[in-house]
Amino acid sequence: MLKKRLITCLFLMNGMLVRSEKFNYHNALGNPIHQLERYNDWRVDELIYIDISRQDTYDLGRYDTKVKIKDNILDIISEVSKKCFIPLTFGGRIRTIQDIRERLKRGADKITINTIAIENPDFITEAAGIFGSQCIVVSIDVKINDKGEYEVYKEFGQIPTGMSSVEWAKKVELLGAGEIFLNSIDRDGTGEGYDLDLIKMVSESVNIPVIACGGVGKFEDFVDGIKIGKASAVAAGNIFNFTEISAINAKKLMKENGIEVRI
């Protein structure tokens, strides 16, 4: 039986690690590299870094913790890959094949794409053909619209696409994506638990792995994401930032609930 994965998702803005809430509110947490040692020690299965910076060039502004941070995503990837002993996925601001090539060259194992996949679906097929499907993760950001339907959004969760989550998930699988990173905008940073209906609906509509993200507030949410949501992997950010030895304890609870995980 394939083991289920526990993944840490870290959001970066202007080179800083930030806490995200509903894709709008962002609270700076510090240097994105200094967290690595504990994630290595905690034996999380993967790390996903998403660059949500709005500007082409980082504006570091006032930063007075006396810790030097990198001023572009490629330097951050290079530094992270030197110190990280678990698989790394990087996403955000990818628009070209060369963008993917640069990230892999700097040490990323996989990349995740969102807006470019929506605007140019053939890009998924092209990227998978060059780098392999196992390298291409399509991020799907979903929000409940005014009609009460699950709708896919792009551009940092700001622009509705008119596509349903299941419709888009099926399409990205056919186009060659190796995995889906499914994020609930409504649950992001709330601690209210995963949107299990959304996760189950998408997971059961495709044959490729689905990584669930958005809303974890307690370790039991990871269990629900696997058992009820049928996800292949569960991811979170905030709970790992604020809870000591969180991944170790989360995996212990998952194991106790009959979920096969790597300890």
Work out the angle at residue 114's Cα, subtended by the Cα atoms of residues 19 and 108, and round it to the nearest 5 degrees. 75
Residue 261 lies in a domain: no
Query: Which pLDDT value is given to residue 67?
Result: 43
CA–CA distance, 47 with 182 (Å, rounded to integer): 15
As a whole number, mean pLDDT of residues 189-205 equals: 97
Helices 73-83 & 97-105 angle (0-180, nearest 10): 30
Residue 263 lies in a domain: no
- pLDDT above 90 for 72: no
CA–CA distance, 93 with 78 (Å, rounded to integer): 17
Query: Which pLDDT value is given to residue 64?
Result: 40
The percent of residues above 70 in pLDDT, for the chain, comes to 87
Residue 51 lies in a domain: yes
> 8 forms bridges with which residues in the sheet?
47, 236
Domain count along the chain: 1
What is the per-residue DSSP string for 138-179? EEEEEEE-TTS-EEEEETTTTEEEEEEHHHHHHHHHHHT-SE
For the segment 199-228, what is each residue's pLDDT rounded down to a tens digit?
999 999 999 999 999 999 999 999 999 999
- pLDDT above 90 for 26: no
Residue 262 lies in a domain: no
Residue 122 lies in a domain: yes
> 10 forms bridges with which residues in the sheet?
49
The residue assigned the tokens 């994105």 is 32
CA–CA distance, 166 with 184 (Å, rounded to integer): 13
Residue 206 lies in a domain: yes
What is the value of pTM for the model shown? 0.91
Domain that holds residue 129: 5-256
CA–CA distance, 199 with 205 (Å, rounded to integer): 10
CA-nearest of 175, 231, 187 to 205 is 231
Residue 145 lies in a domain: yes
Residue 223 lies in a domain: yes
Yes or no: say if 10 and 237 are a contact pair by the CB < 8 Å rule: yes
The residue assigned the tokens 């889906």 is 180
Which tokens hold the place of 87? 């698989």
Query: Which pLDDT value is given to residue 65?
Result: 42
pLDDT band, residue 247 (cuts 50/70/90): confident
CA–CA distance, 133 with 230 (Å, rounded to integer): 21
Q: Give the lowest-confidence range in 49-53, 90-94, 232-236.
A: 49-53
Buried b / exposed e over 169-195, threshold 16 CB at 10 Å, is bebbbebbbbbbbbbbbbbbbeeebbb
Query: Which pLDDT value is given to residue 8?
Result: 92
CATH number at residue 82: 3.20.20.70
pLDDT band, residue 63 (cuts 50/70/90): very low
CA–CA distance, 28 with 26 (Å, rounded to integer): 7
Query: Which pLDDT value is given to residue 62?
Result: 40
CA-nearest of 45, 57, 55 to 88 is 45
* 34, 44, 109, 110, 244 from 105: Cα distances, Å: 22, 23, 9, 11, 33
